Amino acid sequence: MIVSALLTSVGINFGLCVLFFALYSVLRKQPGNCNIYVPRLVAEDKSRTSYFNIGRLLPTPEWMGRAWQPSEDELLSSSGLDAVVFMRTITFSLKVFSLAGIIGVFILLPVNCTGNQLRDINFANLTNNSLDVFTISNVNNGSKRLWIHFCAVYVLTIFMCYLLYYEYKHVSSKRIAYFNSSKPQPHQFTILVHSIPVSAGSSISNIVKNFFMEYHPSTYLSHLVVHKASKFRDHFQAAFVSFKSRYGAAMVLHMQQSDNSTEWVTEQAPEPHDVYRPFFSSFFMRKWILKLVVIVACLLLTILFFIPVLIVQGLSNLNQLEILFPCLKSFLSMAFVSQIVTGYLPNLLLQLFLKLAPPVMMFLSSIQGFISYSEIKRSACKKVIWFIIWNIFVANVFSGSVFNQLSFFLEPKNLPARLAVAVPAQASFFIAYVVTSGWTSTSSELVRLIPLICSLIKKPFADPTTDKFEAPTFSYHWDIPRVLFFSLLGIIYFLLAPLILPFLLVYFCLGYIIYRNQFIYVYAPKYETGGKYWPIVHNSMIYSLVLMHAIAVGIFTLKKLRLASSLMFPLPVMTLIFNAYCRTRFLPTFTTFSAQSLINKDRDDNNDPEMAEFFSKLVSAYEEPTPSPIDHSTNSDSQTSPLLTPV
Amino acid sequence: MIVSALLTSVGINFGLCVLFFALYSVLRKQPGNCNIYVPRLVAEDKSRTSYFNIGRLLPTPEWMGRAWQPSEDELLSSSGLDAVVFMRTITFSLKVFSLAGIIGVFILLPVNCTGNQLRDINFANLTNNSLDVFTISNVNNGSKRLWIHFCAVYVLTIFMCYLLYYEYKHVSSKRIAYFNSSKPQPHQFTILVHSIPVSAGSSISNIVKNFFMEYHPSTYLSHLVVHKASKFRDHFQAAFVSFKSRYGAAMVLHMQQSDNSTEWVTEQAPEPHDVYRPFFSSFFMRKWILKLVVIVACLLLTILFFIPVLIVQGLSNLNQLEILFPCLKSFLSMAFVSQIVTGYLPNLLLQLFLKLAPPVMMFLSSIQGFISYSEIKRSACKKVIWFIIWNIFVANVFSGSVFNQLSFFLEPKNLPARLAVAVPAQASFFIAYVVTSGWTSTSSELVRLIPLICSLIKKPFADPTTDKFEAPTFSYHWDIPRVLFFSLLGIIYFLLAPLILPFLLVYFCLGYIIYRNQFIYVYAPKYETGGKYWPIVHNSMIYSLVLMHAIAVGIFTLKKLRLASSLMFPLPVMTLIFNAYCRTRFLPTFTTFSAQSLINKDRDDNNDPEMAEFFSKLVSAYEEPTPSPIDHSTNSDSQTSPLLTPV
């Protein structure tokens, strides 16, 4: 791509951003749009109707100030820990790319420009020429100046690892504090048991009751068998079992109950409104097979998605398109059209194709056997990250025939060298991607175009008094992968083409203010994972770093600086060891709470007079909203005076 | 290697086996050798002195009958579950190689012989010629007969997976039954806590007591702080904590105790005489770094071992030796000498080098931070397997320069094809290896040469009345890897050179009778893992199968039967899925016992009047044998009447 095409794309997107900001500022002031722009306030009945004045028609920036104000603790109490984790992902990236941007723009970029490896490029005619002069490709082979790049990689890695450690520690302490300050909630006292062995002549409810009365008589409180009437026969075979203390529930959860590990399988119960029911009654074996099927489906989908990616890459390469469609030749040879087609259209198309990924991954995760919406979203989030990295980054970098790529991945020895050739060549494509997908999509998030249009169409027919209004939930499974993908781009191109970094910094600044605004006014937390997204963010950052190291090894080999290439090897090894340490140190906090926390929390509750009422409600918390025959039973001996002390 | 060299090797080793058998039969009858051949009976004071008669000087085979007789349950009660697992590994291999032998010798071998790919070989002159005529290399390229080999791979894989499933199930049920029938043992009620946070002004003993009295008041029984006086200061910072019930101990073991996962780290306590003390007082971080250091050391050792392997391979290649040492030329050109040097000497040398591996791996495992001898042995067992497979199999197959090999492992695409060329070429070397290392080493195990010589030297100086005699323990970390390596050889060469199978069958038959004999009369169980070696055996078999599939893919590609090569792909995938299922289904049984088992066992004990005495002894079970200041404390409130019911 030539510089003028990139400038066209930046220009269009900058214009769109300004338009979206102005539009939002005006639209938001219209009382009719409350449901779109401040649905949280509407749902909480806090929105005020303002009288008409001329200011309502003028764009003003004061909403930015309001979005800036709340502290992290205020955000935590209003939007939950997942929102805090999401915002910390953005601030983490801001910190990383501030340093990377300073090093990249003020040190690496001048070094790259002073090289003359790409001699045929004429500086005077810059705007019509390739951006390659700003990349590492322009540094002379074997130049001692490459040691500056080498040091930059070390500095960024050490800085990122330090920040990652600090953030992991912070988020895990937040997670513990969040649990410690939480009110008693049904899912803390409840587990889901499935694969219950059936015996003839005894109802499933009795089997469950007998089992827990026999083995956990002092902590067992009650249970609720989940029925699922299908066409052929009634399915049971799952039950919510509630306990008198959090520690009692955790004990049952963490110990294998039966000698046969496929029977009496226990899972942490989700929050009552987070329950996803279709897979309750599945047996161990069925869930296991479904998981396999989903993995295969994901792989297939990822491979099939090569096709649209190749089409998009075809657009970037205008000559190919002219050969395919000769009739378009005269049209495409117009300068403006060609700049739009190569600079803007490919990214727009890719964006549209990618919009399909999250719903498809959500569907795949939903048939994988998870029992809660939050876990489905979290699993979809991981799938989307993998999908985006694979399809946008890898496929775009190595656009060529699919078979060539497969054979190429079977030769990892050549991987760094190939990456070092292919990745810098795509720098301008990804700068365009940052402005299209990063700037414009994030700004359009502010205006919420689709809900706005839907509301305009619906308005004449809707009766505002009947429906209970509900604020939307945030799509973590789409926004986290996007932010992580931009971080990946930044980390990789930091070394290769630092010109991308200012564009990324603008994106993260936009993201910071816009997402904060949306969390405060738009998205309400409905269910949450309690910060479990952070390990995904952490792993993705580590993966990005190691990928950067691999590319650095390849670049230094290509540039004939063998020593730097060899001295790069310890870095990925140390990074992976650092990651292993973080896993052992912090990851357990994200899967379970400690005995100490649980017991202390149980003791605190013991003094709470409201607990008797809570326990009486706990029995029915997981009843299905629709009327259906439900078996539940309580441990009546002690229900009235639950022993909350751990025993 | 030529046929006559192989026959020389087989002849020498067969002679040695007969000699060892005869020698054992005679030596065993001499009363003076009781300590060597029936140390278990001596230790249990059951050996009888027989009067001299002429029969004592004649070799007789009746010891074989006696070794044959005991049932599995008798072996279990006399030698423990680990011995049963070891014997089942041998019977498993016997079953597999019986079927493989029938298919290999009666179907594949004739098919291989009827090919004429290697035309230059003259059948009449067989004994002086290569064994390659019996290998798959002799089958014509593109021949339809290769489909017979294809089917054989499928049949053997399915048969092995069926047997593996059945065996895993059997061993895991044995493990549960073994636990259920065990008497109360201190390690079932005890855990080891390390990385205890120290606070100024409070003794470590008080800190431990306060923690467990606060969070586990109803199950905590007592604790014992382990001191370690070093030159600089007293180390504490580990403690054995005993509980009133097995379930109580398991609960603390399976739950993270503190919010900081590097504090209050719990481990299952080993049996009191299995305790390995040096690493008690280590902090989490130190243990973690030690583990890393050991991994690096293992890698280095494996790489350095290439050197002796290359020397051994040089011997196999006589021409090279003649070039290096021209003075030996006339000596080496003698037929008998050359046959010994190429057929027998390389294996003998390799055997001697390999004898160094188990003690070195034991040393590495011992500094890795394990707290029991049995775990050290188990970890050394895994290391030795990896070491043997890598060094004997891979290094011998690809003898060439080390750098070539490294670059080659970075190109996994070519791996099957390269394996398919290199592996069949080494068939005769490995047949010689089976007879040298398999037959002779196993038979020499019977005679116990080194203890015999030691005893002969010591006898004049030893006073038989003073020392308490102790029977030796079995070296699982050396014998399991050997048996598994022979299985790997058999599985791989089943397809390539089925001539190895009869030799392997003889080895496993010898092993069956000899190891049974040794378990009954020689090795006493001192401590054990309770069958935890089986998952290692299972994984090794799966690894062997997948390696065979990879080689099969390469062979069919080389032999220009592309369809068979493609149809081979589902097999490793299915095998790995089968393995994943077995892991989920059976592996949990090998790491922990279920709540059901533990609680039932605790209840049974409740009715046992001897438990009060057991608990009073439990407090001091883990005291060090040497006198040292020991802090222990009991939960005195309820020590006299321990509540065994799970609460």
Range scoring the smallest mean pLDDT among A235-239, A564-568, A601-605, A612-616: A235-239
What mean pLDDT comes out for the span B467-494? 87
Predicted confidence band of residue B612 (pLDDT cuts 50, 70, 90): confident
Three-class SS of residue B245? coil
Range scoring the smallest mean pLDDT among A313-322, A476-485, B93-102: A313-322
- In chain A, residues with a C-beta closer than 8 Å to the C-beta of B215 are 595-596, 599, 646
pLDDT value, residue B102: 95
A257 interfacial to chain B (CB closer than 8 Å): yes
- In chain B, residues with a C-beta closer than 8 Å to the C-beta of A255 are 250-251, 254, 592, 594-595
Q: How far is A570 from chain B (nearest CA, A)?
A: 13
Q: How far is A248 from chain B (nearest CA, A)?
A: 10
Predicted confidence band of residue A228 (pLDDT cuts 50, 70, 90): low
> Which tops the pLDDT comparison, B27 or B402?
B27
Q: Which of A259, A406, A603 to mutate to test the interface with B (most CBs of B within 10 A)?
A: A259
Three-class SS of residue B241? strand
Q: Do B261 and A577 touch (CB under 8 A)?
A: no
Percent of chain A with pLDDT over 70: 81
Classify burial at B205, counting beta carbons within 10 Å of its beta carbon; exposed 0-12, middle 13-18, buried 19 or more.
Answer: middle
pLDDT value, residue A351: 73
Percent of chain A with pLDDT over 90: 22
A127 interfacial to chain B (CB closer than 8 Å): no
Alpha-helical (H) ranges within B345-475 are 345-354, 357-366, 373-388, 395-397, 402-409, 415-425, 427-433, 441-447, 449-458
Residue-wise over A95-126: b if at least 16 C-beta within 10 A, else e? ebbeebbebbbeebbebbeebebeeeeeeeee
Tokens of B30: 């001499």
Q: Which of A191, A368, A388 is nearest to A293 (CA)?
A: A368
What mean pLDDT comes out for the span B255-282? 81
Range scoring the smallest mean pLDDT among A550-554, B270-274, B282-286, B523-527: B282-286
Percent of chain B with pLDDT over 70: 81
Tokens of A490: 């930044």
pLDDT value, residue A156: 95
Classify burial at B80, counting beta carbons within 10 Å of its beta carbon; exposed 0-12, middle 13-18, buried 19 or more.
Answer: buried
pLDDT value, residue A150: 94
Q: Which of A264, A267, A236 is nearest to A250 (CA)?
A: A267
Three-class SS of residue A472? coil
Top-ranked range on mean pLDDT: pick from A157-171, A220-234, A620-634, B515-529 = A157-171
| pLDDT higher than threshold 60 for residue A647 | no
B255 interfacial to chain A (CB closer than 8 Å): yes
Is residue A226 within a helix (H) or strand (E), and if so which, with residue range?
strand A220-229
Residues in chain B: 647
Predicted confidence band of residue B462 (pLDDT cuts 50, 70, 90): low
Please give the DSSP secondary-structure letter assigned to residue B20: H
Q: Which of A596, A600, A644 to mutate to test the interface with B (most CBs of B within 10 A)?
A: A596
pLDDT value, residue B353: 75
Residue-wise over A528-560: b if at least 16 C-beta within 10 A, else e? bbbbbbbbbbbbbbbbbbbbbbbbbbbbbbbbe
Helices H / strands E in chain B, number of each: 30, 5
| pLDDT higher than threshold 90 for residue B94 | yes
Q: Do B584 and A261 touch (CB under 8 A)?
A: yes
A176 interfacial to chain B (CB closer than 8 Å): yes
| pLDDT higher than threshold 50 for residue A350 | yes
B261 interfacial to chain A (CB closer than 8 Å): yes
Is residue A514 within a helix (H) or strand (E), and if so which, with residue range?
helix A500-521
Three-class SS of residue A638? coil
> Which tops the pLDDT comparison, B250 or B397?
B250
pLDDT value, residue A629: 43
B256 interfacial to chain A (CB closer than 8 Å): yes
CA distance A41 to A607: 35
Decide if A218 contacts B647 (C-beta within 8 A). Answer: yes
Type of residue numbered A206: N
By C-alpha distance, the chain B residue nearest A600 is: B215
What mean pLDDT comes out for the span B326-350? 70
A566 interfacial to chain B (CB closer than 8 Å): no
Decide if B131 contacts B428 (C-beta within 8 A). Answer: yes
CA distance A613 to A620: 12
Tokens of A570: 């310890």
Distances from the Cα of B100 to the Cαs of B106, B498, B556, in angstroms?
Answer: 10, 8, 20
Backbone angles phi, psi at B57, to 5 degrees: -100, 0
Helices H / strands E in chain A, number of each: 30, 5
B557 interfacial to chain A (CB closer than 8 Å): no
Predicted confidence band of residue A102 (pLDDT cuts 50, 70, 90): very high
Residues 6+ apart with CB under 8 A from A316: A1, A342, A346, A429
CA distance A529 to A370: 13
Q: How far is B255 from chain A (nearest CA, A)?
A: 6
Q: Which of A495, A431, A419, A535 is nearest to A89 (CA)?
A: A535
Decide if B48 contacts B380 (C-beta within 8 A). Answer: no
A110-142: pLDDT as tens digits: 988 888 776 654 444 444 456 777 888 888 888
By C-alpha distance, the chain B residue nearest A409 is: B413
Predicted confidence band of residue A232 (pLDDT cuts 50, 70, 90): very low
Three-class SS of residue A278? coil
Please give the DSSP secondary-structure letter assigned to residue B270: P
Q: Do B256 and A412 touch (CB under 8 A)?
A: no
Residue-wise over A443-478: b if at least 16 C-beta within 10 A, else e? bbbbbbeebbeeeeeeeeeeeeeeeeeebbbbbbbb
Predicted confidence band of residue B616 (pLDDT cuts 50, 70, 90): confident
Could you report how far apart the first and last alpha carbons of chain A are, in Å?
Answer: 70
Q: How many CB atoms lie within 10 A of CB A64?
A: 15
The fold of B186-270+607-634 is Alpha-Beta Plaits (3.30.70)
Concatenate the DSSP letters of all residues of A430-453 into one string.
HHHHIIIIIIIHHHHHHHTHHHHH
By C-alpha distance, the chain B residue nearest A583 is: B261
Decide if B523 contacts B73 (C-beta within 8 A). Answer: no
What mean pLDDT comes out for the span A106-111? 91
pLDDT value, residue B414: 67
Q: How many CB atoms lie within 10 A of CB A521?
A: 20
Distances from the Cα of A96 to the Cαs of A155, A418, A476, B94, in angstroms?
Answer: 11, 27, 22, 61
| pLDDT higher than threshold 90 for residue B91 | yes
CA distance B469 to B465: 9
Concatenate the DSSP letters of all residues of A603-622 into one string.
HHHHT-TTHHHHHHHHTTTT
Classify burial at A563, counting beta carbons within 10 Å of its beta carbon; exposed 0-12, middle 13-18, buried 19 or more.
Answer: exposed
Helices B146-180 + B534-558 axis angle, to 10? 170
pLDDT value, residue B165: 96
pLDDT value, residue B449: 81
Q: Name the region of A201 (left: φ>0; alpha: ψ -120 to 50; beta: rest).
A: left
> Which tops the pLDDT comparison, A299 or A630?
A299
B230 interfacial to chain A (CB closer than 8 Å): no
| pLDDT higher than threshold 90 for residue A340 | no
Q: List own/partner pairs for B360-367 with CB under 8 A and 24 or more apart.
A: B360/B301, B361/B298, B361/B387, B361/B477, B362/B477, B364/B294, B364/B297, B364/B298, B364/B301, B365/B294, B366/B276, B366/B278, B367/B290, B367/B293, B367/B294
B207-239: pLDDT as tens digits: 888 889 888 888 888 888 877 655 444 455 778
Alpha-helical (H) ranges within B305-368 are 306-316, 318-324, 329-332, 335-343, 345-354, 357-366
Q: How far is B418 from chain A (nearest CA, A)?
A: 14
What mean pLDDT comes out for the span A24-42? 81
Top-ranked range on mean pLDDT: pick from A55-59, A459-463, A580-584, A601-605 = A580-584
Decide if B33 contacts B56 (C-beta within 8 A). Answer: no
pLDDT value, residue A319: 63
B557-578: pLDDT as tens digits: 888 888 998 999 999 999 999 9
Q: Which of A179, A139, A188, A192 is nearest to A556 (CA)?
A: A139
Q: Name the region of A304 (left: φ>0; alpha: ψ -120 to 50; beta: rest).
A: alpha
> Which tops the pLDDT comparison, A282 or A587?
A587
When CB atoms are compared, the residue of A585, A589, A647 closest to B647 is A647
Decide if B525 contacts B80 (C-beta within 8 A). Answer: yes
> Which tops the pLDDT comparison, A90 or A404?
A90
Domain ranges, ordered by start, for chain B: 3-95+113-183+289-448+475-591, 186-270+607-634
CA distance A91 to A85: 10
Q: How many CB atoms lie within 10 A of CB B603?
A: 16
What mean pLDDT comes out for the span A635-642? 41
Interface of B with A in 568-597 (CB under 8 A): 577, 581, 584-586, 588-589, 592-597
Predicted confidence band of residue A259 (pLDDT cuts 50, 70, 90): confident
What mean pLDDT comes out for the span B145-152? 93
Decide if A364 contacts A297 (C-beta within 8 A). Answer: yes
| pLDDT higher than threshold 50 for residue A639 | no
Q: What is the reported pTM?
A: 0.84
Residues 6+ apart with CB under 8 A from B625: none
CA distance B339 to B325: 18
Please give the DSSP secondary-structure letter assigned to residue A244: S
